[in-house]
């Protein structure tokens, strides 16, 4: 059931609370907002149909618009220490926060989707899926448990651009030595010998592309050759170009589907 004209006039005048009217008719606050907007639009249309000649009609319309603007600028109800909180006041505060949030970033859901707008914060942004046709700017961390999508722009970390590709790729890199291998995402054996075995901590979803070089500290070895490459790791040998195996450290980069 839609509110009566008398109720809508009281609503616009600020004499009747939107939450009370919503509860009275068994609807949500957004529906009450739609009623209020339709009521004001009807008043404007009626005034326009009379050619604007009714002085009191113009006064009433102007007054309702001003009052409605003030009524829309609602504030949160403060809670008093050591006093019971009323459910309608608490629910009203949450409703206002939801309305303000949706006015800024769109309908609240599991995903953060601001459409063509811009989100800027000095804190952190996190969510299941983050999508922006505009810009997402954070002074802290941006964490997407599932996907982070910038539809029409670049992804930057500080002042540097983030690398991108047509595939969902992952990089593992390292320097394999007998004493102190460097890099993360892998384990190794055979550093400083003629045969090195690299095992990725987390396998790639398909065979990666691997580049391997001898060094540092490879005084005589000048070639790094692959025995095998798979989703879980690779085996390489080092030596000289005349096919003589020579112990060496190696450096590598593996890039493949995540």
CATH 2.60.40 fits 169-257, yes or no: yes
Predicted local distance difference test score (pLDDT) of residue 5: 73
What's the mean pLDDT in 84-91? 82
Residue 34 has pLDDT above 80, yes or no: yes
- Diameter of the chain measured on Cα atoms: 103
Where along the chain do the CATH 2.60.40 domains lie?
A: 169-257
Place of tokens 């195996």: 245
For strand 156-157 and strand 169-176, is the pairing parallel, antiparallel, or unpaired?
unpaired
Collect contacts of 49-56 with beta carbons under 8 A, ≥24 apart. Answer: none
Q: How confident is the model at residue 128 (pLDDT cuts 50, 70, 90)?
A: low
Q: What is the dihedral of CA 90, 93, 98, 103, to 10 degrees?
A: 170
pLDDT tens-digit map of 210-243: 999 887 766 677 888 899 999 999 999 988 877 6
Tokens describing residue 77: 């109800």
Say if residues 11 and 32 touch (Cβ distance below 8 Å): yes
Lowest mean pLDDT across 27-41, 91-105, 238-252: 91-105
Place of tokens 């009807």: 42
Across 20-34, 62-76, 154-168, the highest mean pLDDT is recorded for: 20-34
Say if residues 11 and 43 touch (Cβ distance below 8 Å): no
Residue 228: other Cβ atoms inside 10 A: 9
DSSP structure string for 201-233: SS--SSPPEEEEEE-SS-SS--EEEEEEEETTE
- Between residues 253 and 165, which one has the greater pLDDT? 253
Average pLDDT, the chain: 76
% of the chain surpassing 90 pLDDT: 19
């Amino acid at each position: 059931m839609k509110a009566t004209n008398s109720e809508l006039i009281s609503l616009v005048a600020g004499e009747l609370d939107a939450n009370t009217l919503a509860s009275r008719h068994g609807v949500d606050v957004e529906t009450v907002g739609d009623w209020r907007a339709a009521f004001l639009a009807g008043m404007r249309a009626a005034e326009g149909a009379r050619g604007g000649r009714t002085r009191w009609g113009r006064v009433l319309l102007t007054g309702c618009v001003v009052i409605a603007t003030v009524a829309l600028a609602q504030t949160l109800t403060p809670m008093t220490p050591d006093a019971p909180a009323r459910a309608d006041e608490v629910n009203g505060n949450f409703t206002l926060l939801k309305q303000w949030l949706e006015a800024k970033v769109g309908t609240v859901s599991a995903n953060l989707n601001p459409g063509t707008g811009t989100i800027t914060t000095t804190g952190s942004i996190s969510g299941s899926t983050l999508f922006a046709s505009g810009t997402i700017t954070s002074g802290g961390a941006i964490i997407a448990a599932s996907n982070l999508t910038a539809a029409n722009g670049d992804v930057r970390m500080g002042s540097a651009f983030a690398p991108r590709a047509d595939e969902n790729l992952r990089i593992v890199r390292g320097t394999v030595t007998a004493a102190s291998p460097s890099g993360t995402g892998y384990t190794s054996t055979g550093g400083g010998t003629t045969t090195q075995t690299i095992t990725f901590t987390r396998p790639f979803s398909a065979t990666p592309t691997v580049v391997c070089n001898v060094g540092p500290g490879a005084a005589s070895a000048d070639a790094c050759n692959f025995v095998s490459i798979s989703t879980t790791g690779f085996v390489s040998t080092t030596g000289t170009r005349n096919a003589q195996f020579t112990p060496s450290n190696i450096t590598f980069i593996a890039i493949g589907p995540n």
